[in-house]
Structure formats: structure tokens, C-alpha cells
Structure 1
Amino acid sequence: MKNEQHSVSIHFAITLIAAAERKGLDTRQLLHNAGLNEQLLKQPGLRITPEQLSRLTQEVWKAADDELICMGSRPSRQGVFALMAKHLVHCRKLRSVYHRFAQYYNLIADAFELNFSVDGELATLTLKLTDVDNDPDHTLREFLLLLLHRFPSWLIGQRITLERVTFDFPKPAHSEEHRLMFPGRVDYDQPICSFSFSKKLLDEPVVQTTSTLGGYLRTLPLEWFKRQAYYPVYTRRVLNYLEQASDLAQTGIEQVAEEAHMTSRNLRRKLSSEGTSFQELKDSVRRDAAIHYLSQPTLTIAQIARELGFSEPTAFTRAFKQWTGVSPSLYRQES
């Protein structure tokens, strides 16, 4: 395949459109501009590309002039994050980044409150919404924690490994997405939303500059929605191998195990301990690649089937329906 594609749950698009609808925005136009369709939102098990979710978020930002995607008690106008980012890029260390992050948003944003503290060996950032009724699907809380983790990680040029993430709502149906969004332990039904990491990271220097910041800001929010390397070690190794395989259909666990200098039996055991299997990972790579290819109108379904190693289009159609609940042709038509 020689590429890395992945997908995200359509749940986030559904909640974005629901919030936009509550604000009276033209949701059909928002979906059209993002390359999505109302029929897709009726399939909660479907997945979309990060690019589609990013475009939809951008459309909501512009239409509502609200970086809190219509889910805060009060809007935060477009440009607020960029203005803050231009200040944070001048911080010397991560410690200053989080202190200023909290100070800045607590000063200008009435919709939520941030608190940053260090206790023992852990640094903790907490998030509290002013009115949770405006965020009935919890998307704003997920979005803000994602932003508060990934932007500082980018500033210091390395992933901030999280020790614990807490949410103040019950475990949702899409909780599997949290394993991809946040590294570390995730607990639900907690008093507050937060994440904690080793205080040793607070002394990491900021390595980005005003020149690199411009390019970063132009990609947002896509950089926040792309898959990060937050998988357990052997799951990540297998995914890396599969995503770079020239012939995915013929790639078996024996080849991956040989590359990792272990037996296939040992690799199966390692993957099982991480809560997955080789076939599950292979199917997820093929599924995400299929979703990406179906968003390219120049590729026929027969070409996509061959690219993914299926002997015939009907075999690909059966597999895609098993993965997503709809046929490739219907998925393409509705997106």
C-alpha cells in the first residue's frame, strides 16, 4: 500500500451537525461543503476520513464564527486560538505553555474553566464547562482535551504521554475512539474532565517557532484528527508493517513476526495481551484504505478492490458491508 490512511467515527460529524442545527445553521450546506451527505449521518456505525471531519469542523467554525463548534455556553470567535498560539510559541518550556494556556482561556473564554497544577510526580490539567447542557454528546469536552494535549505536544516536538484521562460523563458507545485519541488509562463518570502526565515533561523546551506555526495553523483542525502513534507497542509495529506493505492481501503474520524477530505464536500472544489480533488489525487497515480510496472519484470500485487485494469487486463489496454496514457504491454515492 505504501501509505497511511485511517478513519474516524461518524459520531463526531453527527454531533457537529446536531449542534449546528440547534444554532439554526444551514446543515445541508455544511455537509455539502465538507463532502458529506445527510444519509451518511443515519449510519452511526460508519467511518469517515479525518479530512472530511476537518472540513466539516472548518465549515461550522466559519458559519457560526465560533471555535467552540456551537457547543459552548458562549461562542469563542474565530482567531482566538491562533492569537493564543502566537503567544505560546514564545514560551521556553512546556511548564509555561500550560500555565499560559489556562490563564489565557480563563481570561477570554466564559464557556469553560481550565486549571493546571502539579502534585507529587504528576502534572494535571482539568477542564470544566460552564454549562454541560450545551454539550449533550460530550463532543466539546473531547475536542478541548484533544486540543489541549496535541498542540502542546507539537510545540515541544514530542508526544506528551498521558498517565490518566478522566471524563465527567458515562462511558459512551464510541469509547473505542478514545483509545486512538488519548494515550494512557481512561476513566469515566469522574467528577471532572482532566489528563495527567509526568511532571518531568514540564522542563521540555518549546522547539517550534513563529515560522513553523504559520504552516501548522493552516492545517487545523486536521492535525488534531489524524491518528497519532498511541497504540501499544506490538499493535503499532503490526500496523506500521501493514500500512507499508506493497501487497497487503498476501501479507501474513509470519512476515510481520520475522520482521519483529519473534515467532508468529509469540506475536499472536503479544497482540492478544494488547486486546487485538492480527486479522482485526489487517481488516482495520483495509477498511480505512477503502474509505480513503472511495473519497477519490477517479478510482473505480474495481480498481479499489484490486488495490486492496480482493480477487473480484463482489468480494470487496461483501467485506466493506461487513466493516461499515453499507456497500461501497452506496457509501460513495452518499459521501
Structure 2
Amino acid sequence: MNTMAMTGSERTISVPSGYVGYLLRMVDKQGYDVDSLLASVDISPAAIAAGEDLSAEKFGQLYQRIIWVMQDESFGMLSGGKVPNGTFRMMCYCILHCQTLEKALRRCSDFYEVCRGSVIKPVLTKRGRYAKLSFAPLDSQPAGTVESLISEEPPVSIRTSLSVWHHFLSWLVGRRLELKAVYFSFDTPEDEDHYRRLFHAEIRFNQHDNVIVFPARYLDLPLVQTEETLRGFLKTAPYQLMVMVDDAQTLKSQIVAILGKDFSREMPSADDVASKLNMSISTLRRRLLDEDTSYQKIKDECRRDAAVNYMNSPHLSINDIAALMGFDEPSAFFRSFKKWTGMTPGEYRQKSRWQDYA
């Protein structure tokens, strides 16, 4: 869903205007005042009309507001009905203490059988070295429910649903799930390249099903999230479900993907990262030097970007953010934030335009 845009020397994550327009048209069809909705999250209707992309953070605020006013957590995705607000939170609490990703996924499927709203559920299938996630009707629904639903949905809704599940699974295990392939049942769309950038995998259209395929070994991974990190995740959702890390084919982007977005846990060492990338520590350092960076600099940039994202969420106190960033003492976070941005957290929040930071 996300694309990368250049701002000076920085790369910022943005959401294509086409997807934003798709959501707003759905809101309008249900009789809600779109201009009022945009104003509530300080987005200019003129910018939307001009086809400007939205920053991922601003899009997250917009989507969060849409879910609230529509009272439907599945808005813009496959479900076949309205999913009451709070459902996703309860599902997370139900799966958080599962030992592995596989157990969590199977429990997700069971949860959908008892929650209100959706008529379909996620289904996990293992075949040899690979696993796939697709959708199936609830036990109470007739056969053909999924096919009937998909026939009425635009491709962007199906794409979003698979992308959100991909990102959610990645968040649960604290690393990006590297997909082998993604299959779609509809015809090849005009923005085919966007699908490849979004999923980083082989993409096929006109298939019999809509699925993401990934190595089965990921199913044995433990969940790294806790109730504490979940609280921060929910306060800023759906930001983490709508975007993924940098899509550039650089060593830096690979490291960013390994680091993920959960900074409450201990960061891997340079040796750990080199091992994961199947290279020596000296090769890692040399190649990063060729890209005019270092492992420490990448870690600092990732933590800075995560801190700024949290700071832009008014629901989080500065002490909450310090904890989410893995600081035992708020004072240590204050010092680091000022080092990263040139401002204290309080000064940053007092700025009338946080975008000035870029």
C-alpha cells in the first residue's frame, strides 16, 4: 500500500492518492460528510482533489477516524459485514500468549467464528516447505460465500486485506515475513508494479484464489509482542498495518526490515544482523560504508523515525513513548530525542507544524 517519496535527502513513506480516494468514495456512498471527516484530521480537501499522496502517518490518522465514524473495523477490506470497534483488540489479546505464529493464526481463525460482523475468516494451510494464508467462509455460512463476496469487491479491497494480514503477521514475530508469492483471482490491474513493490514477491493474477504464500518455517517463530507493546500498537493502529519498511533494494533497507518497528525489545547486534544476512561482520561494515552509512547510524535513524511517529500520536504520553522505545527512564529518552531531532519531546509537540522537522 505504501510508496516511497523523496523529501530533500530523506525518503518518506506515503500512501497513493488512488487508495485514499477509494476509501473516501466509500465513505461518501454511506452518506457521511467527507469534507468534515478530512477536517477532523487536518487534511485539505484541495490536496485530495489534486491527487496528492498522503504521508503514512496522516493516512493512519484518517483511517483510524474512518473506522470510528463508520463503526466498522473492517472498512475497506474483505469481511461481508460490519466488524464492531474493539474486535481487533480482543483478537490480539486472545492470541498474544500463543507460543508460535502457527498457533496464533489458527486461534485467529477460531476467533472469527465467534466474533460479530465478518462472514469470512483467515485460514492457514501448510504444504511441505510452504504455507499459505487465504480466506474461507465461517462454518455457519454457505459454500461459495467467499467467491460471492470477492466478485462484488474491487481489487484494492482484496489487495488491502492480504497486505494488512501480511503486516500483522510480521508485527507479531517482530520481523518482515518474506513472501514467496501472492496470488489474486482478478485480472492484471493497471498498477501491477505497485503490487510487486508492496509485497516484494512473485505476483500472479487470474488465479483460483487470493492468497499469500510464505516459507512454513516462519510458523515456528515465537511471538515477540507483549501486552505492553500491544497497547502502543493499538493506540497508533492502523499505521503499522498500512505500511511496511523501505522497499529499496539496498543493504540498508534489508537491515531496516530486520530491525522491524518494535523498539521496546533489545536490538540485534551487528554480528547478529551479519549472520542473518549470511555475510561476515567485516563485509557488512564495508558494504554499509559504500552506502555512506553504518549499522549504528541505521539503528539511530530507525529509532528516531519510530519516536517521531509515536510523538505525532496525541493519545500517547511522553512516558508512554519512552517505554515503547525501550527506555527504562524517561530522562534517557528525552536526551536521545533531543540528539535525534534537536528538540526536546515537549518542544517538538509544541511546534505548530510537526512536518517542519523534515
Q: Which runs of 5+ in 2 are unaligned?
A: 1-7, 137-145, 258-285, 292-350
Corresponding residue for residue 145 of structure 1: 162
Alignment of 1:1-335 (within 5 A): 5-44=12-51, 46-69=52-75, 72-108=79-115, 109-127=117-135, 129=146, 131-132=149-150, 135-136=153-154, 138-233=155-250, 236=253, 298=353
Conserved in 2, the CA contact under 8 Å of 1:8 and 1:49? yes
Q: Which residue identity does 1:131 align to in structure 2?
A: L
Q: In 2, distance between residues paired with 1:180 and 1:227?
A: 10
Report how far residue 189 of structure 1 moved: 2.1
Report how far residue 229 of structure 1 moved: 4.2
Q: In 1, distance between residues paired with 2:232 and 2:158?
A: 26
Q: Which residue identity does 1:95 align to in structure 2?
A: E
Conserved in 1, the CA contact under 8 Å of 2:251 and 2:287? no
DSSP-derived class of the 1:5 partner: strand
Q: Which residue identity does 1:37 align to in structure 2?
A: S
Aligned Cα RMSD in Å? 3.4
Corresponding residue for residue 255 of structure 1: none
Q: In 2, distance between residues paired with 1:219 and 1:173?
A: 32
Conserved in 1, the CA contact under 8 Å of 2:167 and 2:244? no
TM-score, L = length of structure 1:
0.66
Q: In 1, distance between residues paired with 2:246 and 2:97?
A: 27
Change (3 A) 1:157 1:64: same
Higher alpha-carbon deviation: 169-178 or 212-221? 169-178
Q: Which runs of 4+ in 1 moved over 4 A?
A: 1-4, 237-240, 258-263, 296-300
Conserved in 1, the CA contact under 8 Å of 2:177 and 2:218? yes
Q: In 2, distance between residues paired with 1:69 and 1:122?
A: 30
Aligned residues: 255
Q: In 2, distance between residues paired with 1:237 and 1:157?
A: 14
Report how far residue 260 of structure 1 moved: 5.2
Q: Which residue identity does 1:49 align to in structure 2?
A: S
Q: Which runs of 5+ in 1 are unaligned?
A: 241-257, 264-295, 308-335
Q: In 2, distance between residues paired with 1:186 and 1:234?
A: 23
Q: Which residue identity does 1:51 align to in structure 2?
A: E
Conserved in 1, the CA contact under 8 Å of 2:67 and 2:75? yes
Report how far residue 171 of structure 1 moved: 2.8
Q: In 2, distance between residues paired with 1:91 and 1:299?
A: 39
Q: In 2, distance between residues paired with 1:208 and 1:176?
A: 32
Change (3 A) 1:93 1:238: closer
Change (3 A) 1:177 1:106: farther
Q: Which residue identity does 2:173 align to in structure 1?
A: I
Higher alpha-carbon deviation: 205-214 or 120-129? 120-129
Conserved in 2, the CA contact under 8 Å of 1:9 and 1:174? no
Conserved in 1, the CA contact under 8 Å of 2:252 and 2:288? no
Conserved in 1, the CA contact under 8 Å of 2:246 and 2:256? no
Q: In 1, distance between residues paired with 2:61 and 2:12?
A: 17
Cα shift readout 1:278-326 (whole Å, capped 9, x = no counterpart):
xxxxxxxxxxxxxxxxxx97599xx99xx8xxxxxxxxxxxxxxxxxxx
Conserved in 2, the CA contact under 8 Å of 1:180 and 1:227? no
Q: Which residue identity does 2:62 align to in structure 1?
A: L
Change (3 A) 1:122 1:231: farther
